[in-house]
Amino acid sequence: MFQVVDLNTFLKIDFYLGENIRGAFDRTVRENLIGEGIYPTISKEDAIVSKVLWVSKGSGRSEQDVASMLNAPEPFDLALVENLCEQLGILDHFNRIRKKMEEGGIF
């Protein structure tokens, strides 16, 4: 993983190479980034699953990132996230994060 930060806008873009989330390229969405053009980006569902993968590898910071995405107002397909997590063997990590959120342990 590496990051690119625009120092004028402080927009941070994470690049994850080598993750294999089935169908992720088919689910890309086109977003206007920094007013400079429209580019394909990862879907919210795949971003959540990607962060859960990092949680499964020991990243505590990614737990907060998952919680932030789940709390964000943009709609997403929860069933798809659960299905992808199950396929990758990380559904227990996703469910643990959701439980912590319900108990007030993560915001």
* pLDDT per position as a tens digit, 57-79: 998 888 999 999 999 999 999 99
Q: Please report where in the chains the tokens 């439980």 appear, as a residue.
A: 99
pLDDT at 105 over 80: no
What pLDDT score does 22 carry?
A: 83
Rg (CA), the chain: 14
Q: Please report where in the chains the tokens 């169908």 appear, as a residue.
A: 23
- Assess contact for 31 and 39: CB atoms under 8 A: yes
